[in-house]
Amino acid sequence: MRAVVVDEVRGRPDVREVADPTCPVDGVVVRVMATGMCRSDWHAWAGHDEITFPHVPGHELAGVVAEVGAGVGRWRVGDRVTVPFVCGCGRCEWCRSGNAQVCPEQQQPGFTHWGSFAERVALHSADTNLIALPESLDFGTAAGLGCRFATAYRALVGRARITEGEWVTVVGAGGVGLSTVMIARALGCRVVAVDRNPEALALAADLGADHVVLADGSDVPDAVADLTGGGSHVAVDAVGDERTSADAILSLRRRGRHVQVGLLPPVAGHPRVPMDRVIAWELDLLGSHGMAAADYPDMLALVAQGLLRPDLLVRRTIGLAEAASLLPGLDRTTAAGITLVDPAH
């Protein structure tokens, strides 16, 4: 198969022929029809995860089942599927209680093994992790669900437990941030979007953000406090940076809930967090790590009803060669919305 291959940390990604993946006994091989490009792929490329090289990135995928392991009961060749980026083992107490997103034995395509910037990808524990795509959902839209949209949904619904009428501040208007804006609005919240890129803020406004704040070095928490009458009920850092995380936390009103979605690998040490404010204002700090397949049906129902429109976030589709050339600069990209990779493109 053709795949984007990275031979070493920060090596130049190369598109070439490699061996097809082997089908796990409890898993499947999926022919990749669409796969999203995400900042997490850049983190893996940059050596922030424990990766074995040579490596194939890619973790937001949708496609068609091409091979089925002998131990799989629920899936057949030809099924249209997607998968969370965290695949649980299916056997431990966390998986059995519907929390595969924190499984200690988790597998992540594009991290623990070769991912979906390729014509084919192997997926483990298929009976636990695969999600059937409704006929109405195309592969491109579904690929965008796999990481950012599902992560945003879980952050708001499963973790912050938003309720109608609350203010939600979203710091970062990239793929996961825009997803957060859209979901918060659809569920009846009022939204402030914060970003350093005016183009991304324009997109956030199109998707329903009530207010946008340009992070140009000015006091973001102060601006949010003015717009929301004293701070938001919920804040989401969708970037993953000491500054954006602190801006989100300090934008909360008393007893507010912060959800950390953007990854903060301790590359230069752990980030400083304004814990004095957390204590004095009784703020909740919540982590969020993807979403288990078991939680997808509620979200997919809202997509099927047209209440959530992940398709609106997709801005462009590229091929493997262009994905290879974009990957090293993904941390600095200012392109708004989601970029999809079609291996057949």
Please list every residue from 41 through 60 that binds Zn ion, using CB under 5 A: 60
Task: Write out the DSSP string of 275-312.
Answer: HHHHHHTT-EEEE-----GGGHHHHHHHHHTTSS-GGG
Contact predicate 338/217, CB 8 Å: no
Specify the stretch interacting with Zn ion by CB under 5 A; choose among 99-107, 185-193, 222-230, 280-288: 99-107
Contact predicate 159/178, CB 8 Å: no
Q: Looking at the DSSP assignment, which residues form a beta bridge with residue 340?
A: 36, 317
Would you count residue 178 as binding Zn ion (CB under 5 A)? no
Would you count residue 176 as binding Zn ion (CB under 5 A)? no
If DSSP states are collapsed to H, E and C, what string results for 94-138? HHHCCCHHHCCCCECECCCECCCCECEEEECCHHHHCEECCCCCC
Specify the stretch interacting with Zn ion by CB under 5 A; choose among 7-15, 90-98, 113-121, 182-190: 90-98
Would you count residue 86 as binding Zn ion (CB under 5 A)? no
Would you count residue 324 as binding Zn ion (CB under 5 A)? no
Would you count residue 215 as binding Zn ion (CB under 5 A)? no
Would you count residue 131 as binding Zn ion (CB under 5 A)? no
Would you count residue 92 as binding Zn ion (CB under 5 A)? yes
Please list every residue from 179 through 198 that binds Zn ion, using CB under 5 A: none
Chosen residue from 95, 118, 171, 326 binding Zn ion by CB under 5 A: 95
Would you count residue 40 as binding Zn ion (CB under 5 A)? yes
Would you count residue 88 as binding Zn ion (CB under 5 A)? yes
What region, left, alpha or beta, does residue 150 occupy, with left being phi > 0 and alpha being psi -120 to 50 degrees? alpha
Q: Shortest approach of Zn ion to residue 59 CB, angstroms?
A: 6
Specify the stretch interacting with Zn ion by CB under 5 A; choose among 143-151, 225-233, 302-310, 317-325: 143-151
Whichever of 60 and 237 has its CB closer to Zn ion, that residue is 60
Report the alpha-carbon distance of residue 122 to residue 341 in Å, rounded: 17
Number of shown-chain residues binding Zn ion (CB under 5 A): 9
Would you count residue 89 as binding Zn ion (CB under 5 A)? yes
Report the alpha-carbon distance of residue 95 to residue 129 in Å, rounded: 10
Specify the stretch interacting with Zn ion by CB under 5 A; choose among 87-95, 158-166, 225-233, 323-331: 87-95
Would you count residue 109 as binding Zn ion (CB under 5 A)? no
For helices 242-250 and 220-228, angle between their N-to-C axes, nearest 10 degrees: 30
Would you count residue 103 as binding Zn ion (CB under 5 A)? yes
Whichever of 78 and 104 has its CB closer to Zn ion, that residue is 104
Would you count residue 302 as binding Zn ion (CB under 5 A)? no
Q: Shortest approach of Zn ion to residue 236 CB, angstroms?
A: 15
Q: Shortest approach of Zn ion to residue 84 CB, angstroms?
A: 10
CB atoms within 10 A of CB 227: 18
Would you count residue 338 as binding Zn ion (CB under 5 A)? no
> How many CA atoms, within 13 angstroms, populate the side-chain half-sphere of residue 130?
29
Structure tokens at 281: 């204002």
Specify the stretch interacting with Zn ion by CB under 5 A; choose among 129-137, 147-155, 209-217, 333-341: 147-155
Q: Which residues of 3-41 are buried (b: 16+ CB within 10 A; e: fewer)?
A: bbbbeeeeeebebeebeebebbebbbbbbbbbbbbbbbb
In the three-class reduction of DSSP (H, G, I as helix; E, B as strand; rest coil), residue 267 is classed as strand
Binding site for Zn ion (CB under 5 A): 38, 40, 60, 88-89, 92, 95, 103, 147
